[in-house]
Amino acid sequence: MSIVYIGIGSNLGNREENCERAVALLGTNGIKVLKRSSLYETEPWGIEEQPEFMNMAVEAETGLEPERLLEVLTDIETTVGRKESKRWGPRIIDLDIIFYNDLILKSSDLEIPHPGIKDREFVLKPLSEIAPYKRHPIFKKSIKQLLEDLYNIT
């Protein structure tokens, strides 16, 4: 079994309900949620002219390989109501693999650890609540350190 960290976000419809539904669906798809963060209201990133997000993170255990996990997360997004949209645009739900054990993977469909994590408070803050000492396999810093670094820059 592998330990994965998944980022969850929503800025359309009932944002809290969308996130809660996604967490519930993880458990019915071979992904056992071990820890979950609080919900955080965050400013949009990438495209600023859109509603604020609700973001959270979960730590989970799964036997799914990374590519299959991505497929399952995409299916959950569809079930919750996500439609195709422009990159970084508004969405009902967004599920991202942040970490998969300490795997470093880059393919045409998937990059782990999730790129841009060190610049995204909406990922680091919920993740620091459930895994402050999880070390980023590339940057060799804990989530807590990455969040502190981000706060020192802004």
Which one from 96, 109, 119, 120 is the annotated catalytic residue?
96
Which one from 82, 119, 135, 149 is the annotated catalytic residue?
82
- Residue 149 catalytic? no
Which one from 94, 102, 109, 149 is the annotated catalytic residue?
94
> Cα(69)–Cα(89) distance, rounded to whole angstroms?
23
How many other CB atoms sit within 10 Å of the CB of residue 72? 18
- Residue 94 catalytic? yes
- Residue 68 catalytic? no
Let me know: does 60 contact 34? Beta carbons within 8 Å. yes
DSSP string across 26-80: HHTTTEEEEEEPPPEEE--SS--SSPPEEEEEEEEEE-S-HHHHHHHHHHHHHHH
Strands 111-112 and 53-62: unpaired
Which one from 15, 21, 91, 120 is the annotated catalytic residue?
91
- Residue 91 catalytic? yes
Task: Catalogue the active-site residues.
Answer: 82, 91, 94, 96
